[in-house]
């Protein structure tokens, strides 16, 4: 059976900003080697981090439809589908190539190419939104957070898994060495696109700290925001709720 084409909301609406076009093109180029490099560059830790993030979402979110935002090659989507069989699961990313590379992992998922700051869903559609390693690629983090809040049901949960700008001295040193040497060299050798992995390194250094991100979520209207570091702060999980029933 031939899979249905992935609907491209970005192309239809023409809403990409310059930043989004540049980031989208970069992910299109590295899609064929993305899964391999994730495992190599994180020494397999990325799988543990995703599993931990999904467990946090399952504990915090009420039953209902789930959205994997900035889904990439859909590893989080697959974990969500396994965690709540039969529940509606939607994967959204701005890169068609990334979604094409991962859609075999979750045959039952709905797949949409869309801008994370202009989601093609009604208000209050989802009980859980998860975003793994994607918020730092948005042109405007606050606009993206407000859009996530819009599509969440009252009391729904938003879980972020991200490589925030480090604040610990030891983690800063690790990030600096990793970004200067490992990411562009190893990423460039495997993918053939060293520039893309320089961009990923800069995106970590230029993003918010976890504490700053938690503050931003509170400012845009989320409730009960809290974060937890993973692997000495190399990655972090942040959980937040949409105000309403079940929020605190």
58 half-sphere exposure, CB direction, 13 A CA radius: 15
Asked if residue 63 belongs to a domain, the reply is: yes
Place of tokens 């590295």: 30
| Residue percentage of the chain with pLDDT more than 70 | 66
User: Which tokens belong to 222?
Assistant: 């989320």
Range of the domain at 51: 9-21+44-164+210-241
DSSP-assigned beta bridge partners for residue 158:
129, 240
| pLDDT single digits (tens) 9-68 | 334 333 334 456 656 666 666 666 666 666 655 667 789 999 999 999 999 999 999 999
Structural domain count, the chain: 1
Report the relative pairing of strands 152-162 and 235-241 from DSSP bridges: antiparallel
11 by DSSP, 3-state: which? helix
The answer to whether residue 59 is domain-embedded is yes
Tokens read off for 132: 């793994």
Q: What is the pLDDT of residue 201?
A: 63
Q: List the structure tokens of 95.
A: 């890169």
Per-residue pLDDT, 156: 98
Interstrand relation of 223-230 and 235-241 (parallel, antiparallel or unpaired): antiparallel
Euclidean distance between CA atoms 78 and 61, whole angstroms: 17
Q: Is residue 177 part of a domain?
A: no
Residue pointed to by tokens 């730092």: 136
Range of lowest pLDDT (31-45, 96-110, 204-218): 31-45
Cβ atoms of 222 and 240 closer than 8 Å: yes
Residue 170: per-residue pLDDT: 67
Helices 34-42 & 18-30, crossing angle to 10 degrees?
Answer: 90
**Token pair for 16:** 């990409």
What is the domain-level CATH number for residue 113? Answer: 3.40.50.150
The answer to whether residue 160 is domain-embedded is yes
Determine, yes or no, domain membership for 29: no
Give the predicted TM-score (pTM) of the model: 0.81
Question: What does the block give as tokens for 220?
Answer: 């845009």
**What pLDDT was estimated at residue 197?**
58
Two structure tokens written together for 231: 């692997």
Q: What is the pLDDT of residues 167-195, one digit of tens each?
A: 876 666 666 666 666 566 555 555 565 56
Q: Give pLDDT tens digits for 119-164.
A: 999 999 999 999 999 998 888 999 999 999 999 999 999 999 998 9
């Amino acid at each position: 059976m031939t899979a249905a084409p992935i609907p491209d909301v970005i192309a239809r609406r023409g809403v990409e900003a310059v930043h989004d076009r540049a980031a989208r093109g970069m992910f299109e180029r590295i899609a064929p080697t993305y899964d391999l490099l994730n495992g190599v560059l994180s020494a397999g830790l990325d799988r543990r981090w995703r599993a931990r993030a999904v467990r946090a979402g399952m504990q915090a979110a009420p039953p209902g439809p789930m959205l994997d935002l900035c889904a990439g090659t859909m590893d989080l989507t697959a974990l969500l589908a396994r965690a709540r069989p039969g529940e509606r699961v939607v994967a959204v990313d701005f890169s068609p190539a990334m979604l094409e590379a991962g859609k075999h992992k979750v045959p039952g998922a709905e797949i949409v190419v869309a801008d994370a700051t202009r989601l093609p869903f009604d208000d209050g559609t989802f009980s859980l939104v998860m975003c793994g390693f994607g918020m730092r690629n948005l042109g405007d983090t606050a606009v993206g957070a407000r859009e996530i809040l819009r599509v969440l049901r009252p009391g729904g949960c938003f879980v972020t898994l991200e490589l925030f700008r480090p604040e610990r001295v030891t983690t800063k040193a690790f990030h600096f060495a990793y970004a200067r040497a490992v990411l562009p060299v190893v990423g460039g050798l495997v993918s053939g696109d060293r520039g893309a992995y320089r961009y990923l390194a800069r995106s970590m250094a230029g993003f918010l700290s976890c504490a700053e991100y938690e503050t931003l979520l509170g400012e845009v209207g989320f409730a009960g925001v809290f974060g937890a570091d993973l692997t000495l702060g190399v990655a972090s999980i942040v959980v937040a709720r949409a105000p309403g029933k079940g929020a605190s």
